[in-house]
Chains A and B, each alone.
Chain A
Amino acid sequence: MADLPLLSVKRLLKRFGGLIATDHVDIDVGAGETHALIGPNGAGKTTFIAQIQGELSPDAGAIIFSGRDIAREAAWRRAQQGLARSFQITSVFLQFTALTNVILAVQAQAGHSFRIRRAAVDEPALVEPAQAALAAIGLGDRAHVRAVALSHGEQRQLELAMALAMRPKLLLLDEPMAGMGRQDTARMTEILRKLKTQYSMLLVEHDMSAVEALADRVSVLVAGRVVATGSFAQIRADAHVRAAYLGEKHR
């Protein structure tokens, strides 16, 4: 069973009225692999990620994760089984400090939360892993700043720190560089390059230099369909992809 992929999406289908947002998509992510999902705006990348994570439910198809079909399971159960999503549009707890944001992520994976004996910030079992996740992402010295007061780039880092603190088997990263400047993008790419050795990732990204640096395989999504899967070099050379991205029809 060693060669069974960690995530195997089969014939996934999602309709919004007459629009087919996900059109019989097949994608695999192997253990340890970083699989990038690219495609033009509106191709259905975020919709796809949301179905894997559980926020949206697919109309048909299977999502085999660690050998089980999770397509009908609640989002919180999938998270507890090791699926961690970071959001394209930053989604953190703005009134909590960065540290508390990450504490919640640690806590989510540490059994039930019907615990009322001690303040969470006084529990080393929560604070220490949270601090470690912040440090790993370069936010260690911003732990006690409220998320609302962090810069955009820092909030993006916090997103990622929260996903890491869940100790996931698979990271679902939805445009981790969204809205970042050139410098921040380079820094985030560097952070992800280090993480890539320890985690399996499904990465949605527009920044091609980041995709080139990170992805083991690339799939191209156009209008809800996967039109190509392969190495970055193969994809760059693929005529379908050029047509989709650059409008080079009938070459």
Chain B
Amino acid sequence: MRRPSPRLLLACVLFILLALAPILTIFVGNDYPLIVLTRVLILAMAAVSLDLILGYGGMVSLGHAAFLGLGAYAVGIMTTEGVTSGLVQWPLAILLTALVALVIGALSLRTRGVYFILVTLAFAQMIYFVSVGLDAYGGEDGLVVPTRSRFSVLDLSDRTSFYFLCLVLLFAAIAFVAHLARTRFGLVLRGAAMNERRMRALGFPVYRYRLAAFVIAGALCGLAGILLANHSEFVSPSIMNWGRSADLIIMVVLGGIGSAVGPLLGAMVFMLAEETLSHLTTYWQLIFGPLILIFVRFARSGLIGLFPERSGDG
């Protein structure tokens, strides 16, 4: 019997703490902490999906929030059009994000480095402006989502149930990404990030593996978008503002790239900073920015660096 790794323990502790968090609402007397925490979980899921391509795959996408927006808008538009069943909405929304990720990935993965960053950003901006132009669905002002997705077994309008759904889905996503990284597919993805030239010499067509990872990450982020639309009961272009894509990168880097559970830590710290610092000043990022710089300077492996990996690649 091997001892569990510090990171697995960390994931378990986080899960338990987050599962106990709804008790907070009893002491506080209102739902506010739960609402904030639900948002943390959803953005953490988006960050985890980004970590698959950024951390493991070495693909710095500056357009990841587009998939968040696509998932959210898919739900918003379908609800507006009277399609409220989650069993219809969710698969369709995920399929849509996956397809768009396939197209964006197929084109942008032909570029490298800074060009990849710019091409992903450009695609995300295109989708952003499409959403701004959707006059039938609120355009720039956004769109109220009148009802949450309907499931026969679960009432999403109950805040606590919805919180637990997000919690379970987030940890499923973390477990999925952590597992994926260890499989043949994951080794190819990580190997291509470390030494692409060697991968080709070994006989790997790296493009198609990267593309597959890009699509998986997009679909997973689309799921986060679905949750976000249900959570806010409102969708607007600002969901996929390019600044949001940058926030996701910060969460991943802050938490620790290529660690699956790190982005959750990153998202928690990021949102905590946003909550507390934005009470002090509107220009909270003026404080947060330098803090990140200092942090990255002294802890390059992110918060997850505090929890060492077991040796080996298992």
Chain A, interface size category, equals 35 or more
* Separation of A88 and B194 alpha carbons in the complex (Å): 18
B191 contacts A96, CB within 8 Å? yes
Q: Which residues of A contact B204 (CB under 8 A)?
A: 76, 108, 113
A91 contacts B198, CB within 8 Å? yes
Chain B, interface size category, equals 20 to 34
A182 close to B (CB within 8 Å): no
Q: Which residues of B contact A116 (CB under 8 A)?
A: 179-180, 183-186
A109 to chain B, nearest CB (A): 6
Which of A96, A108, A126, A146 is in CB contact (< 8 Å) with B203?
A108
A204 close to B (CB within 8 Å): no
A79 close to B (CB within 8 Å): yes
* Separation of A117 and B190 alpha carbons in the complex (Å): 17
Q: Which of B258-314 contact A (CB under 8 A)?
A: 311-314
B112 close to A (CB within 8 Å): no
Which of B187, B197, B204, B206 gathers the greatest number of chain A CB atoms within 10 Å?
B187
Q: Which of A29-47 contact B (CB under 8 A)?
A: none
Q: Which residues of A contact B136 (CB under 8 A)?
A: none
* Separation of A117 and B198 alpha carbons in the complex (Å): 25
Q: Fill in one digit per residue for A113-130: 1 if any B CB lies within 8 Å of its CB, else 0.
A: 111111111110010000
Q: Fill in one digit per residue for A33-70: 1 if any B CB lies within 8 Å of its CB, else 0.
A: 00000000000000000000111000000000000000
A91 contacts B195, CB within 8 Å? yes
A133 close to B (CB within 8 Å): no
A76 contacts B183, CB within 8 Å? no
B110 close to A (CB within 8 Å): no
B312 contacts A144, CB within 8 Å? yes
* Separation of A79 and B206 alpha carbons in the complex (Å): 13
Which of B179, B187, B195 is in CB contact (< 8 Å) with A113?
B187
Q: Which residues of B contact A71 (CB under 8 A)?
A: none
Q: Fill in one digit per residue for B199-212: 1 if any A CB lies within 8 Å of its CB, else 0.
A: 11111111001001
B194 contacts A115, CB within 8 Å? no
* Separation of A98 and B194 alpha carbons in the complex (Å): 14
A-B contact pairs, 17 of them (CB 8 A): A75-B201, A76-B205, A91-B198, A93-B194, A93-B195, A94-B195, A96-B194, A103-B187, A113-B184, A113-B187, A114-B184, A114-B209, A115-B184, A116-B179, A118-B183, A119-B183, A119-B314
